[in-house]
Chains A and B, each alone.
Chain A
């Protein structure tokens, strides 16, 4: 569901099979179990729909903390999208559905064929773009050819706990950290700090996993590439 990665404002999402409630795909903040929430509440929603005669369910929205999870049916599945609490569920659903219109989903065999939509390039300040570049280079360097998925997962973890307000604006698209929408000007310093702490997080993980000298050498190589 890479189309969802490209939508600004989406913090995380899950794709659930309506038939048995199994989680097909989940992406986003590791501190919230979006997959479980979507699976449990889509099934609870069906029970409540039947007992209260609500009719065909178009949306379930749950608010917790500063977030909102919008769950809605899509073909034979449920999509759960986590956004900031202030967002209007209807707008989110329309936004997702119009993005998905552009994407051809082949349900059987399980493989999904996705056609990325063309979007104008997002203009971001240099202070932010250089940090993004550094993060992507670190992931490449630490993960190499064989272990990139693991480092993308660590990057998502780092984003989830350290990203804060930056999360709705950013996403890992085609294994690259990318801005989905231009960040607000007044948030530039805050975003730079957030990205800096994500860099620190990745370097800390590298030291733990490969030892300090190996990690230092790879960080050095990234510094060279940044010049």
Chain B
């Protein structure tokens, strides 16, 4: 089923489209079948590397070699990407459009049905949570609050109209880290915990 789904994208012009889950499973079109193990290994390397770095949410990766290129969109559970031969006809922007389309397709639902236990449900939060965060921040950061808040919101690319629990967690850790540079790391840690309490 996934192979047919990916084949559609291959026909649209996305070379060797694939979906690799964090657990190592790979869906790829028939033409890319011989690369299945290598793609699985690549996904493992990517997730292990991200795990080693910690709290940075990487959502897009490009690797350009002389012979081939690799572009990928990723989240906590899977990588959706394409492996292509380098030549002058390759239009990277067009490939990214297809990858975005691939990411947007309801394949995630297919995956969720296959492995319901492993999928984490995202919880949408009211934007009032952000106001509460700001109020707490003000107690610790005073006049620095507005800038720190604004910069971290932008830095973490938070969409306040589509604000989910994992966005909030990411924002809180970024705010705590930035605040720590002004008020010291231990107070920054206390602030982080206080902000995390808002999510309970």
11 contacts between A and B (CB under 8 A): A40-B53, A41-B49, A48-B42, A53-B68, A54-B69, A55-B86, A60-B63, A63-B58, A158-B181, A161-B178, A201-B182
Cross-chain contact B67 with A54 (CB below 8 angstroms): yes
Assess whether A37 is interfacial by the CB under 8 Å rule: yes
Kindly identify, within residues 169 to 184 of chain B, every residue whose CB is under 8 Å from any CB belonging to chain A: 174, 177-178, 181-182
Cross-chain contact A53 with B67 (CB below 8 angstroms): yes
B70: chain A residues at CB < 8 Å are 48, 52, 54
Kindly identify, within residues 172 to 227 of chain A, every residue whose CB is under 8 Å from any CB belonging to chain B: 193-194, 197, 200-201, 204
With contact pairs A37-B53, A48-B42, A161-B181 given, residues A56 and B65 touching in the complex (Cβ less than 8 Å): yes
Contact with A along B44-76 (1 / 0, CB 8 A): 011011001110111111111111111000000
A157: chain B residues at CB < 8 Å are 181
Bound: A67/B157 CA distance, A: 9
Residue of B nearest to A71 (CB): B63
Residue of A nearest to B178 (CB): A161
Stretch binding the partner chain, chosen from A25-33, A106-114, A118-126, A139-147: A25-33
Bound: A52/B148 CA distance, A: 42
How many chain A residues touch B (Cβ–Cβ < 8 Å)?
44
Cross-chain contact A161 with B63 (CB below 8 angstroms): no
Bound: A65/B156 CA distance, A: 4
B174: chain A residues at CB < 8 Å are 31
B186 to chain A, nearest CB (A): 14
**Pick the contact of B151 from A36, A45, A61, A162 — CB < 8 Å?**
A162
Cross-chain contact B61 with A61 (CB below 8 angstroms): yes
Cross-chain contact B68 with A52 (CB below 8 angstroms): yes
Cross-chain contact B56 with A32 (CB below 8 angstroms): yes
With contact pairs A40-B53, A48-B45, A200-B143 given, residues A31 and B64 touching in the complex (Cβ less than 8 Å): no
Cross-chain contact A197 with B53 (CB below 8 angstroms): no
Cross-chain contact B53 with A31 (CB below 8 angstroms): no
With contact pairs A37-B53, A164-B150 given, residues A49 and B65 touching in the complex (Cβ less than 8 Å): yes
Residue of B nearest to A52 (CB): B38
A194: chain B residues at CB < 8 Å are 147
Further contacts, 13 of them, CB under 8 A, given A53-B67, A57-B63, A58-B64: A31-B155, A37-B56, A52-B83, A54-B63, A54-B67, A55-B66, A62-B58, A62-B61, A65-B57, A65-B155, A89-B62, A163-B151, A164-B147
Bound: A52/B37 CA distance, A: 10
Cross-chain contact A40 with B56 (CB below 8 angstroms): no
Cross-chain contact A162 with B147 (CB below 8 angstroms): yes
Assess whether A98 is interfacial by the CB under 8 Å rule: no
B155 to chain A, nearest CB (A): 5
A129 to chain B, nearest CB (A): 21
Cross-chain contact A64 with B62 (CB below 8 angstroms): no
Assess whether A51 is interfacial by the CB under 8 Å rule: yes
Cross-chain contact A60 with B61 (CB below 8 angstroms): yes
Bound: A194/B151 CA distance, A: 10
Cross-chain contact A51 with B41 (CB below 8 angstroms): yes
Cross-chain contact A44 with B155 (CB below 8 angstroms): no
With contact pairs A51-B42, A52-B35, A161-B148 given, residues A33 and B56 touching in the complex (Cβ less than 8 Å): yes
Bound: A5/B182 CA distance, A: 24
Cross-chain contact A161 with B151 (CB below 8 angstroms): yes
Cross-chain contact B68 with A55 (CB below 8 angstroms): yes
Residue of B nearest to A193 (CB): B147
Assess whether A59 is interfacial by the CB under 8 Å rule: yes
Bound: A89/B182 CA distance, A: 33
Assess whether B154 is interfacial by the CB under 8 Å rule: yes
